[in-house]
Amino acid sequence: MSRCRRHLGYNERVAREDFQTHRMKKNDLKKQVAEAIEACLEKKAEDLTILELDQTSGAFTDYFVVCSGNNPRQVQAISDEVELRLKKKLGLYPHQIEGYKQAEWILLDYVDFVVHVFAEKARRFYDLERLWKSATRVEPADLLAKPAKSKIKPTTKPITKPTSVRATAKKAARKKPKLTA
């Protein structure tokens, strides 16, 4: 009986560690998606939609970031900005890029999330939001929100400006009591 309890304790510990790792990964994923959203917004992407896909629906990724550009040049600019920003800030490279030359529908596949940049006409035609209607719509503000600052004060002393040896010697000389005879 105790052998089973020991084994169960081990499984609980492993499950707890897996949950914490999954939660860290999920936070990292949200940070990555938020960076992609900011890149889209910086290049004036229109009609930005984020879909959180259900794994039970047979989804191959966790998030879709869907946006539109007014012309092929803007569609490519949005795609370029997403790619460059994720490379620079997070060291994240796309697994696959499709449709860049045609600039009607550019797909940036980052495995855990996919960024779809459409020309307006192509977006109306393919209507991904209708195809993935079981997905949960997430507001960009929910992913872009910065975590609240902690109310707990740090226990360490604040970092002070380094002083020169001469200034330190002057302070020490001032503090020494004068000896009188």
- The pLDDT tens digits for 11-44 are 444 444 443 344 446 678 889 999 999 999 999 9
Residue 6 lies in a domain: no
Residue 38 lies in a domain: yes
Residue 3 lies in a domain: no
The range of the structural domain enclosing residue 82 comes to: 33-146
pLDDT at residue number 54:
80
Residue 42 lies in a domain: yes
Cβ atoms of 140 and 50 closer than 8 Å: yes
> Please, is 116 exposed, middle or buried when counting C-beta atoms within 10 Å of its C-beta (0-12, 13-18, 19+)?
buried
Residue 126 lies in a domain: yes
Q: How many domains does the chain have?
A: 1
Closest CA to 66 of 48, 83, 52: 48
Residue 68 lies in a domain: yes
Q: CATH no. for residue 96?
A: 3.30.460.10
Residue 10 lies in a domain: no
Within 10 angstroms of residue 92's Cβ, the number of other Cβ atoms is: 18
Residue 13 lies in a domain: no
Supply the pTM of this predicted model: 0.66
Q: How far, in Å, CA of 22 to CA of 8, rounded?
A: 21
The tokens for 156 are 């360490």
Q: In sequence order, which ranges of 53-134 are alpha helices (DSSP H)? A: 72-90, 120-126, 128-131
Q: What is the chain's alpha carbon radius of gyration, rounded to the nearest angstrom?
A: 27
pLDDT in tens, 127-147: 988 888 888 888 888 777 655
pLDDT in tens, 145-162: 655 444 445 555 555 555
